[in-house]
Amino acid sequence: MRETIYWLLNIVCAVVILVLLGLHMGIMHLDGVLAALLNTSGHPLAWENMLERAGSGFFKSTYVLLLATALFHGFYGLRTMLLEYWSSPRAEHIVTVMCWAAGLTLFFTGAYVTISFGPGAV
């Protein structure tokens, strides 16, 4: 049952990532094309633009959601690959605990940065 829930969550996360990371990649990597099309200016990584996004509840919440879904999807995939090569009940337990530990550490670090950064924070 646990594996079914993991698998279902993995698929749901993939769909969420597709939308949110698509948006993120568009803003960050197609900025030149989008700026030309939408007639906007400024680099997305410029300090002022980052502060502007950090002040937006929409960007903050989508960053945290993207972080959670991407980490779950990524570590679920890594766990699947590791268990293909190293599978025993003990290995499964160790790999699962390590993936959760790494994922949660990265999530809390990233979420802290996202939530605490904003106009007036630095």
Residues making contact with other proteins (CB under 8 A): 11, 14-15, 17-18, 21-22, 25, 29-33, 35-36, 43, 45, 47, 50, 67, 70-71, 74-75, 77-78, 81, 84-85, 87, 102, 106, 109-110, 113, 116-117, 121-122
How is residue 13 written in tokens? 């996360």
Tell me which amino acid residue 92 is. E
Closer by beta carbon to other proteins, 93 or else 108: 108
Say which amino acid occupies 61: S
| CA 89 – CA 79 distance, rounded (Å) | 13
In total, the chain counts a number of residues equal to 122
Report the nearest approach of other proteins to the CB of residue 36 (Å).
8
